[in-house]
A and B are shown apart, each in its own frame.
Chain A
Amino acid sequence: MRGKLAVSSAMALIALLLTSNAVSGAPPLVTEASIDGDVDLNNRVRYGFQTVEGSERYNIQYSDVPFTNLSESIYNGQSQPGPQAWILVSSEPEDDPDSPETLKFLICWWAQVDLPDSLAGDFQSDPDWKEPTFLVGMPIVPPEAVSVVCDLPGIVRGQEVYIATVSVDANGEFTDDGLEVLSAITLAESAKPPDPDMTSVYIAIGVIVGSLCLTAAVLYFISPSKRERSGYLFILPAILLLATLTFYPVGYGIYLSFTDESAENYGQGEFVGLDNYETLFSDERDYDGDGDPGFWRTFTFTLVWTFGCVAMHMLLGVMFAMLLESGIIGKVAWRTILLIPWAVPGYISVIMWRGMLNRFGWVNGILTSDIDYLGLDNWAKFSVIFVNIWMGFSFMTMTTSGALAGIPKDMYEAANIDGVGRYHRFRHLTLPQLMPALVPLSLLGMIWTFNLFHVIFLMTGGGPDRFYGEPGVTDILVTFVYDIAFIDGEYGLGAAWSVVIFLMLIVFSTAYLVVTKGGEVEG
């Protein structure tokens, strides 16, 4: 998968030399950033440099803001400035590097020749270039290496990054002198397919429309009741639309999941059986080599996200609805204010919160704290859930307060006379009356939240820690499927993920249908 060559039209990368303030000290490292056009790894920035005599180690620092000295280089998600990657120069691979586990290099090559003019080649098969030995994931190049090429991970598509190499001598000294900062940006377009051959799609849609019309006609004419049969005519347009634009795509998606269709070979995909499903659970796509291909991680977070959000929605919704319905002064005004999170268009709310939670945003401003809410793993998870709670609680408050208003008041009066305590009044009076409304609402809420795309996509894009082709820390299943399909261009694999998601949703949906008794179809 990694060896596939680029569809070069899908991407381009601009690399430009920003500053070159080589003044004194060691000769500047010759550096160059480039892109290699590998579609499924299209967030990769390839980076090469000449080595310097007497170096013990090279630190590669990168940041998403320009920096002029090393202490300013922080990449998304790192709270402490410092090197984001190391390359050790050593003839003895047993050397103990400092904190190798933070190292996230994927691929790196060294050679005893100068850097080539273009870095976009295939270093893997080039006899001049060798892969370094690795020590706990840390690449070690021998001292005789002249130049090094490595792929920088974790570059989010479209995000400009600034990169610098620093050589560290035997005493662990390194210097800002001669710091050269490169800027690189992946301008990879979303991998969307070229014009496909649509004949099969036309045929399939034709067949569906034809057979449905035929079925309707047959049913119409064999229908025992002349009166009732015109119903077919009324529902036919809606059924046709639903069949061609929902059921057919779903079936087509399931078919795609058994093929190796991708943006590159669209239309020529072959049937590969269950390969995609195996890939899903295997470590074939475990690019950063931490033994975790991401499926179970994403799955766990999806569950945390779904249950956490819905539980908080219900809790806050019931609490605030009871408050609203407990004879409050200015009920209409409060209701209107509490309506706002629901009323403001969702994408606007999400972006508002993203701005507020930005490291230099308002939340840190008024709390006088300094936390990168969207860049630190646990904070990012907390933040996306928090924002979704903000967006959803008001809907639950509204619906619950509607349900509460329908509970007869005389029961409470009777309970008051009997001296029933507040807890028991809630537990044995209010809750049983609310349950018929709350249970289906919460199940539907779970289905919605499970499928909710734009909150996470617009807040964090799945990050932090989005390494090529692997889900980020806050990715949930549906946001990651989007990445696989439209950024990596792996339609088959994306479809396989979708089918797995679909199977999970069936659990929620069955529960929902059982609870609502098949949606009261009789009604």
Chain B
Amino acid sequence: MINYLKSENYRLLHKKSIYMTSGICLFLITSAALVLYFFQQSDSNFPYGTSIFLYSNVISSGIIIMIVGFLFNTALTGKDASVMKQAVSFGISRNTIFWSKLIVTLSYFLLLCLIGLILVIGLGESLFVSEEASIRNFVAASFNMLPIALGGFVMIHALKMLKVSDIYIIIFLFFLLIFSGDLLRWLLGSFSQLNEFYQYAPSTLLNDNLMSFMDQSAQFDFRFWVTGIVISLVFLAIGMMRFTNKNID
């Protein structure tokens, strides 16, 4: 598995798209902060020139973060994934392939998230007036988003490995992160035992997280981890079972 991990790492580090995606993400974060700073400087009544507003843009960007995750995962599971048939014929197991591609792409995705987080905090604290407890709130809210992002990434990976079309994956992602709460509330609303279940839906959790952050009351919430772990385990199980028995030719 180590050799396969190393080879996938070699492949990823030689992909221009990874550097471009990372560069664009960091550029957009910096640009957003600079635009807010510019307006704050030119208009003293500009209400959004605050670090809280900058941070809130990150907390409300779950879907964008997952699309970046999708692009990172696609780097090793996209069209040229057909090359994996060479690995299979060399006796490398499907499990190794499945896990290696997940580990490598997830590692770089998390690294980019960390760099982005540090950049946002750096820009927020250096360009705008630091507000009390805003960093603590931002870190807590970001930490709550982590399991949902992990679950979403695992879902993307499992579906990509099963060759589900990109458009369906994006639609599924939108559903999960934007509409899942409303749908669960509508479906389970009439069942007294289950009518609170929607509170564990990713979209509900992300909305709650944003509200808590805006109230400056964000704190660790186990519901994010329950949902993130359940999504991850379900898609890992589906992905592994289906991929292990899949023809790769």
- Do the two chains bind? no
